[in-house]
Amino acid sequence: DNVGGYLGGAARGSNYYRDCIFIGNSVTNNSSSGNGGAVFGFSSGDDAKFPMKFTAKPAILDHCTVIGNVANSTGGGGEGGGIFLCVASNGTRIAYNKSHAGGGGASRCVLVDCEIIGNVVTNKLEATTSQTSGGGILNCWATNCVIAGNKIWHQTSGQGSFSHGGGAASSHLSGCVISNKIDTSNGGGVY
């Protein structure tokens, strides 16, 4: 139940986490950021490109649980409801997180042997348009993962609104199981 004001509701930086639980954390920002409801994996000024080309060492989550976290930004950001710019592996469970821009569970991450379950991307109630992608993951590299029950929930249908990929959007998937709720626009499972 920690609240971050900019990046990473509970933690920020290239740390190593083993058997940790991140639950009910949030990040809320009045600018275009507000990413990583639980963990923002880099320090200030670091970034990643897709496909994964990290400019610095990312945070590592090894057999962790990331559940019920929120990434929110009033300025249009809010990616990675659970984690942002991280490497997660070894049975890490990313579940029931929420973001307002994309990647309800994870954004810009490398995921190996993970469960990404029940995450959601939803626009803000006051939004007149909504452009959201990746109910489960966005811009991620996922291998041997279960991506199930994630969704995008539009609360507006204004001109220019769209949503892509209830489970995954703009991601590289290998050996994954995908079972998701129907998306309101394009690609209920994957876009």
CB 168 within 8 A of CB 137: yes
Distance in angstroms (rounded) separating the CA atoms of residues 155 and 168: 20
Confidence band for 122, pLDDT divided at 50, 70 and 90: confident
Per-residue pLDDT of 170-185, as tens digits, reads: 899 999 999 975 555 5
pLDDT tens, residue by residue, 48-59: 555 556 667 889
């009045």: which residue's tokens? Answer: 30
Show the tokens assigned to 155: 């609360």
Give me the pLDDT at residue 128, please. Answer: 46
pLDDT over 70 at 140, yes or no: yes
pLDDT of 102 > 90? The answer is: no
| Exposure string over 103-139, b if 16+ CB within 10 A, otherwise e | bbbbbbbbbbbbbbbbbbbbbeeebeebebbbbbbbb
pTM metric for this prediction: 0.87
pLDDT tier, 129 (very low <50, low <70, confident <90, very high otherwise): very low
DSSP secondary structure code for residue 15 in this structure: -
More confident residue, 88 or 131: 88
Would you state the structure tokens that stand for residue 122, as one six-digit string? 């939803």
Nearest to 170 by CA among 50, 77, 36, 40: 50
Q: Which residue type sits at 21?
A: I
CB of 166 within 8 A of CB of 180?
A: yes
**What's the pLDDT at 133?**
80
Cα 187 to Cα 162: distance, rounded to the nearest angstrom: 11
Residue 150's pLDDT is what? Answer: 93
Q: What is the mean pLDDT of the chain?
A: 82
Q: Check whether 93 has a pLDDT greater than 80.
A: yes
